[in-house]
Amino acid sequence: MRSDTDIAMFKPILAAGLALASAAATADSRTSTTDPALIDHGRYVTMIAGCNDCHTPGFAPSGGKIPEAQWLTGDRVGFAGPWGTTYPSNLRLKVGAMDLATWKTYARALTARPPMPYWAVNAMSDRDLEALWAYVRSLGPAGEPAPAALPPGVEPAGPVVRFPAPPASIAQH
């Protein structure tokens, strides 16, 4: 049985844990999906990072003339190459389901199969990641999850952009 002295020893630890949890919740609330400046910056990051080129159906072929309400819903056009076939994820569902801390951890550790330039996401500043998260969440959920990736040798059923194997001199680097 624990004594009052034993319980008193744990009070500072409990208080510190509660303070950290409160600070994290406050940081999330400051990074709001209703802050117009943050959302505008997230829209800008989306454009300059080329997120729409793959994650918005028809964006690149239309020269960017897709209504913003349709942005970042993923695509059923796959990218096929020696790695198999990948499909651009629906960021509105994927990122929208994450809290800010989870998103930042995910973005910093992200690796993906081609053609996703995950290294660009890894290199984004905290401000850019916070803005991107706020922007995507401000759009709200829409669309369906992307098809699952296919391993090498499995022929995709739908349309794909095909990438040849890189020359041996590049593949070795």
pLDDT digits (tens, 9 = 90+) for 153-170: 999 999 999 999 888 776
Q: Going by DSSP bridges, is the β-strand pair 78-81/84-86 parallel, antiparallel, or unpaired?
A: antiparallel
Q: Predicted confidence band at 33 (pLDDT cuts at 50, 70, 90)?
A: low
List, for residues 73-107, the tens digit of each pLDDT value: 999 999 999 999 999 999 999 999 999 999 999 99
What is d(CA 81, CA 78) in angstroms, rounded to the nearest whole number?
10
What is d(CA 99, CA 5) in angstroms, rounded to the nearest whole number?
38
What is d(CA 172, CA 150) in angstroms, rounded to the nearest whole number?
24
What is d(CA 86, CA 33) in angstroms, rounded to the nearest whole number?
29
List, for residues 46-73, the tens digit of each pLDDT value: 999 999 999 999 999 999 999 999 999 9
User: Residue 171: its pLDDT value, please?
Assistant: 61
* Structure token pair of residue 123: 């290199």
List, for residues 3-26, the tens digit of each pLDDT value: 555 545 444 443 444 444 444 444
Query: What is the pTM assigned to this prediction?
Result: 0.78
**Average pLDDT for 113-123:** 96
